[in-house]
Structure 1
C-alpha cells in the first residue's frame, strides 16, 4: 500500500491544483517532499556523475570583461574535468530513478498527474554561487530541494520571441522581467514551475536540487509513430478513388488535394484511425529516453520466491515506462515503447495495477496463479523492482 503523501499544500486539493496552477502559475510547497531531505549527499552525486553509464553534464561559469562565458562538458565525465574549476560550476545528472528505485518511488507524490507524462528525475549539484543561468523550460517541473539551500527567482512568461545570449552552449537570457517570486528553499521544500516561466536558481551553499519533470509528446513524434504503425495496415496502401474534373495536364487541382485531405481525415476519424492513433500515442509516451541500465546481479526464481514469502513486494520500476490504454473491455499494456502482444489477461491485469502505482504481494501472485518465471521476465526487463524493505 502506497503511503507517500501528495506533494501539495494541505489547503490545496489535486483538483484545485490542476484547475488553478497546472500549466498556469507557480506554487511553493513547503516540505512537499520531506523524504528527499538527506536521501543523498553531494559526494553521492559527484561520484555518480563519473560513472560511464551515467548521463551527466558539467557546466562552468567563467567571468570575462564581456560578461560570463559558460562552458559545457557532456558525459562521460572524468576526474580531470574537475581540476581547477572556476568558483561557479554545476553538475547535472539525468534519470536518477534508474540508479535509485527508492528515489523513483517519490513519483508517487505526484500521482494526481497521469504517470505517462513523467519525464525523469534530474539532480543538480552546485557549490555556493553555482547555477545554470536564467532560463525557461518547455515542460512542467517540480524543483525539490534535497540538500543545502537554493534561492529561486521567477519572472516573466517567455515565448518564441525571447532572446537568448549569443555564443553560449546553453539557452540562457538576461531579462526575466518583473520578479514574481524570490525565496530560498530548504531541504524538503518544492517549487512548481509551469512551462515557459523564466526561473533562476542560485546555490546558497553545497546544494542538491532534484527536478521532477513532466512533458507531453509533440505532434511530430506522434506523426512519426503513426506512420511506423500504419505501414502494417494493408488497407492504407490501396490507391485513392477521386473525382476528376477537366484540368490542364500539368496541374494538380486544389479540389484533388481537398479530396485527398478529406479521405485522410475520414480515415483518422474512423474506428481504425482511433486504434492507430491510440497505439501511436501509447508507444511514444511509453518510450524510454535513456539506455537501460543492466543490473550486475540478478535473483533466481527460488531467491525471488523466498523474498516474496518474507514480505518483499513487487513495485513499478520508474526507470522504465509502464502504461496501459483501455477501449471497451480490452486492456492494452505498453512497456518502454512496445505493445505487449503475447500476455494473458491475468498478466495484463497485474501490470495494470502496477502502472496504477499499486504493489503486488506474494498473496496477489498466488491468487492470480501467475508463474514466478513471468515475474522474473518483468524484473529482467526492468519493468518492476523488488522492494525488500516493504512492511
Structure 2
C-alpha cells in the first residue's frame, strides 16, 4: 500500500522544501485522512500503561487560580489515571513500533529523507487539555486523528528563550503576536517548523499524532566520529593523521600551554580535515551511523521466518517492505546503515535490494526473480528471513496490497 505525498495539490515537494521547510507553517486540510479511525482514546491510555512504552502523563492542577503543572514518566499504571484533574494529557512516543499500519503513513512524508525521521508521538487530551505554550528543536507534522484541537502559532524562539521557572516541562507565557489560529479536524495536518512557538488545546477528547523530524547535533556527530576513528585505528596509524603537526614556536613560560598554541593546533587540525579524503570517508560513516540510529530501543520481534514458508507467502502474492520502526539508509558508495550500524559483508544484490526497501519500494516475488542471474534465490531467501527476524522488514498480505 502506498500513499500520496501529504501536501496540498497546489504545492509540490520542491516548493514545500524551498518555501516552507523551517521557514513558515502550512495547514493541509484532509492531508492524511487515512489516519481517521486507527485509534480510539482508550487505546492510547492502555498503551501508555504498557511496561515497554515510553510515555508521559502531564496534569494541570489549579492552585490559587494559578496553573501548576505535574509530570510523571513511564512506567505508568491504571492508578495514575484515577483522580485526574479536568485538564491533563498523556503522550506516548514511538507509535510506529506498536502499529505497523500507522508506521506506513511515513510514506506520505517521503519527500523528506528518512534519515531525518525521529518518531511518531501521540497525544491524548480531554477537552481543555494541553501541554502548554512551547517550541521544539525539531520540525513536526501535527496530524489530527480523533476529535478536534485548536492550534495557535506565534513568535520564533531560540536557545535564549526563557521558560517559566520551577515547572517540570519547558513552557512559557508569551508567544508574541499570533500568526495562526485554527481548529484541526480529523485528517487535517499542520506543519510547524522547528523553533516556532505553538500552543494546542483540545476542543474535545482528541488524539494528535506528531510526525517528528530532526537533524543531529554536534555532540552526536563527534561521539560517532570518535567511535569511527577508533574502529579504523590501524589504518589511521599509518596515514596522514599519524604525522605530527609542525607549529610555529612562540615564547611562553616553560610550564604553560597558552591559548595561541591551542588556536594554532585548531587551525592545523581544521586544515587537515578540510583537505583529507580519508577524513571525508570517516565522516560519512559517522554521519550515516548517527542519522540512522533510533532514539528508542527496538523491541524484539516474536515472529521467526523460514525460507520455505517465506517462498510460499511470496508466491501467493504477499510483498515485503521496510518496517517503519527501523531506519535504513544508504550512501553514495552503496554502503548500507541500519539502526545506527554499518551492515557490511553484503553482496551487491543485497545492497541494491535494501536500497529499494529504503526508498519505499514494496517488493514481490516477480521483483526478486530478477536477481536470479546474480545470486542464488535460496541465499536471498535466507537473507530476507534474517532481515524479517531482525525487524527490518514487514510482510504485507496479498489481501492488503
- Please give the TM-score of this superposition, normalised by the length of structure 1: 0.95
Task: Give the equivalent residue in structure 1 for 2:195.
Answer: 196
| Secondary structure in 1 matching 2:356 | helix
- In structure 2, the gaps of 5 or more residues are none
Ranges in structure 1 where 5+ consecutive residues have no aligned partner: none
Partners in 2 of 1:244 and 1:111 — Cα distance? Answer: 51
Give the Å deviation of 1:363: 1.7
Aligned pair partner of 1:351 in 341, 349, 354? 354
CA contact (8 A) 1:311 1:390 kept: no
Residue matched to 1:233: 233
Q: Is the 8 A contact 1:317 1:382 kept in 2?
A: yes
Alpha-carbon shift at residue 284 of structure 1 (Å): 0.3
Structure 1 stretches (4+) deviating beyond 4 angstroms? 253-256
> Which residue does 1:49 correspond to in 2?
48
- Larger mean Cα displacement after TM superposition, 290-299 or 24-33: 290-299
> Does residue 1:305 correspond to 2:281, yes or no?
no
Alpha-carbon deviations, 1:116-165, whole Å to 9, x = none? 10110000011111111111111100000001110111111112232211
Give the whole-Å Cα distance in 2 for the aligned partners of 1:253 and 1:128. 61
Instruction: Identify the match of residue 380 of structure 1 among 386, 389, 401.
Output: 389
Aligned equivalents of 1:22 and 1:241: distance in 2? Answer: 42
Secondary structure of 2:166's counterpart equals: coil
2: CA distance, partners of 1:212 / 1:332: 27
Shift in Å at residue 301 of structure 1?
2.8
CA RMSD of aligned residues (A): 1.6
- Greater mean deviation of Cα atoms: 245-254 or 374-383: 245-254
What is the deviation of 1:244? 5.3
Cα displacement (A) at 1:243: 4.2
Provide Cα deviations, 1:149-193, integer angstroms capped at 9, x if missing partner: 101111111122322111111001111111111111000000000
Q: Which residue of 2 aligns with 1:335?
A: 338
CA distance in 2 between counterparts of 1:383 and 1:53 reads 19
- Residue in 2 that maps onto 1:360: 363
Listed one character per residue, the Cα deviations across residues 278-301 of structure 1 (whole Å, up to 9, x for unaligned) are: 001000001111111113333333
The aligned counterpart of 1:124 is 123
Give the TM-score, by structure 2 length: 0.93
Specify the alignment match of 2:37 in structure 1: 38
